[in-house]
Amino acid sequence: MSKLLLQGNQAIVAAAERAGLGFFAGYPITPASEILLELIGGRKRIKVLQMEDEIASINAIIGASLAGRKAMTATSGPGFSLMQESIGLAHMMEVPLVIVDVQRVGPSTGMPTFPAQGDVMQTKFGSHGDYCPIVFYPNSVEELYRHTFSAFNAAEESSSPVILLSDSYIGHLYETVELKKYEVVERSKLPLGLGKRHFTGLTHRSHARPITSDPEVHRTLIERFKKKCDDVATKYNFYEYIENDDADTLLVAYGALSRAAYNFKDEYSIFRPIRIFPLIKDLNKEGVKICVCKGGKGGRGNKTFATSVNQAPRQTTPGKEGQERDLRLELKLIAVKFQSPNVNWKLAGSRIFRFAIRMSLHFSWTEAHTQDI
C-alpha cells in the first residue's frame, strides 16, 4: 500500500478520483484553491471547469450529476454562502453531489488565510426550508482522504448533496497518508432524459409532477427526505470517544480544534463527532458538565452539540458567580480566551492551540442538567 506526504486539499483530490469523480466545477478561493489546481493537471477522466463564480459552480455540478457524472465543487465561506439556494434545489431534486467547504475566518472576506469553524451551522441551516443534510468534518489529512469516500458514497445512497467540511489548517496541513482502497458506491439511477423521473424544485410526489397546494403532499415529501437521510447516515456513524472514568466533564470538539482537545484527555473525557450532521446520538452521558470547544463565537452550536450527547443544555458564562464547575478547566479556558501569557504550553502544545490563541477563538460553556431532552 503506497504512502504519500500530502496536503489536506491534495488528499481530497486523491480520494475523489478513486471514488469516481467525473466532473468538477469551481472558482478559485483561499484556502480551497489547491483542489481546483490539483484537478486541472493530468486527470483526463475528470472534466474540470473554472466557473465565473460559486453560483455557477454549484449549478454546473447539479447539471453534471443529473447527466450521470459523479460531481463535486470546493469553496470556502463566502462561496459557500452563495451556493445555498442551489443546495436547497439539489435536495429537492434529489441530486447526488459533494461540496467541499475549506473554512476560513469570516464574515465576508474576513481573514482568508486563517482557519475557523464558522460554517458548521450553515451546513445544516444555510438554505431555506426543511431538509436533512449529511455532513462530515475530519480532523487530519488521512481522515480527509477516508471521508471523501464517505461523502461520495453517502451522496449516491441518499441521492442528495453531502458536505465535506475542512478548514485552512487541515486543508494546508501536510501528513503522511496511506492510499487505501475503500468501497465505492456506484450511480444507480438513470440520468436526465432516460426513465420517468421528473426533476423540479417544487413540491411533488416521488419523481412525479408538481403539486403546490396540498400540505399533506409536502409533509410526506419532507418526511421521506428526512427518513432517507437518517437511514443512510446510520451507515456512517463516525465519531471518536475517549473516556476518562475520573472526569465529570466532557469536552466536545471537532475538526482542527479537536486536535488541541487531545491535550486534555488525561483530565477529561472527549467526544469528537466526525459525522457532524445528522447528530450522533450513540453517546448517552447524564449528569456531566459539557464544554463545547469550537473555532467561532455563538451559542447555537453549543446547544446543538450538547444535545448530541443527550443532554438538556443551559448556556452559562465563564466567571459568573454562584455557578459550580471545574475551576481548573475554567481557568485554562479563560486563559486561552483572553490571550493570557500564562498559558501552559507544555499542556496546550499543539500548533492549532496557538492558532486558537492568536485568533481569540472562543471556548463557550454549556452546562447540562441530568434529565433527557
What single-letter DSSP state applies at residue 274? S
Looking at residue 326, its pLDDT comes to 42
Calculate mean pLDDT across residues 198-221.
91
22 and 133 inside one domain: yes
In this structure, of 126-130, 143-147, 196-200, 318-322, the range with the lowest mean pLDDT score is 318-322
Looking at residue 207, its pLDDT comes to 74
86-121 tens-digit pLDDT: 999 999 999 999 999 999 999 999 999 999 999 999
Q: Is residue 367 scored above 90 in pLDDT?
A: no
At residue 197 the predicted structure's pLDDT band, cuts being 50, 70 and 90, is: confident
315-341 tens-digit pLDDT: 333 433 333 344 344 434 433 433 333
- CA torsion 30-31-37-43 (nearest 10°) is -140
The sign one gets for the Cα dihedral 320, 321, 324, 330 is positive
149 and 282 inside one domain: no
pTM score, whole prediction: 0.84
Q: Is 223 exposed, middle or buried (0-12, 13-18, 19+ CB in 10 A)?
A: exposed
Mean of all residue pLDDT scores within the chain: 83
Cα–Cα nearest to 22, from 59, 56, 55, 67:
67
294 and 256 inside one domain: yes
286 and 221 inside one domain: no
307 and 348 inside one domain: yes
At residue 83 the predicted structure's pLDDT band, cuts being 50, 70 and 90, is: very high
- Among 236, 262, 277, which residue terminates a domain? 236
Angle at which helix 84-93 crosses helix 54-66, to 10 degrees, equals 10
Residue with the bigger pLDDT between 196 and 309: it is: 196
- Among 180, 212, 236, which residue terminates a domain? 236
228 and 335 inside one domain: no
296 and 267 inside one domain: yes
219 and 266 inside one domain: no
15-60 tens-digit pLDDT: 999 999 999 999 999 999 999 999 997 777 999 999 999 999 999 9
96 and 232 inside one domain: yes
Q: Is residue 359 scored above 50 in pLDDT?
A: no
Looking at residue 328, its pLDDT comes to 42
At residue 364 the predicted structure's pLDDT band, cuts being 50, 70 and 90, is: very low
* Residue 288, C-beta contacts closer than 8 angstroms, at least 6 positions apart: 248, 249, 250, 269, 311, 368
Cα–Cα nearest to 239, from 285, 180, 279:
279
266-302 tens-digit pLDDT: 999 999 999 999 999 877 767 788 888 888 775 555 5
Residue 343's domain comprises: 240-369
199 and 337 inside one domain: no
Helix (H/G/I), strand (E/B), else coil: 181:
coil
Kind and range of the H or E run holding 41:
none
Q: What percent of the chain has pLDDT over 90?
A: 68
Q: What percent of the chain has pLDDT over 70?
A: 79
Q: Could you tell me which residues are beta bridge partners of residue 292?
A: 252, 364
Looking at residue 88, its pLDDT comes to 97
251 and 151 inside one domain: no
Q: How many CB atoms lie within 10 A of CB 248?
A: 12
How far is the C-alpha of 260 from the C-alpha of 262, rounded, in Å?
5
Looking at residue 330, its pLDDT comes to 42
In this structure, of 201-210, 252-261, 358-367, the range with the lowest mean pLDDT score is 358-367
Cell of residue 272, nine digits:
469528537
Calculate mean pLDDT across residues 156-178.
97
Calculate mean pLDDT across residues 343-370.
41
Read off the CATH number of the domain in which 149 is found: 3.40.50.970
Looking at residue 301, its pLDDT comes to 58
How many Cα atoms occupy the beta-carbon half-sphere of 9 within 13 Å?
23
224 and 247 inside one domain: no
Q: How many domains does the chain have?
A: 2
Looking at residue 32, its pLDDT comes to 98
- Among 236, 263, 285, which residue terminates a domain? 236
At residue 358 the predicted structure's pLDDT band, cuts being 50, 70 and 90, is: very low
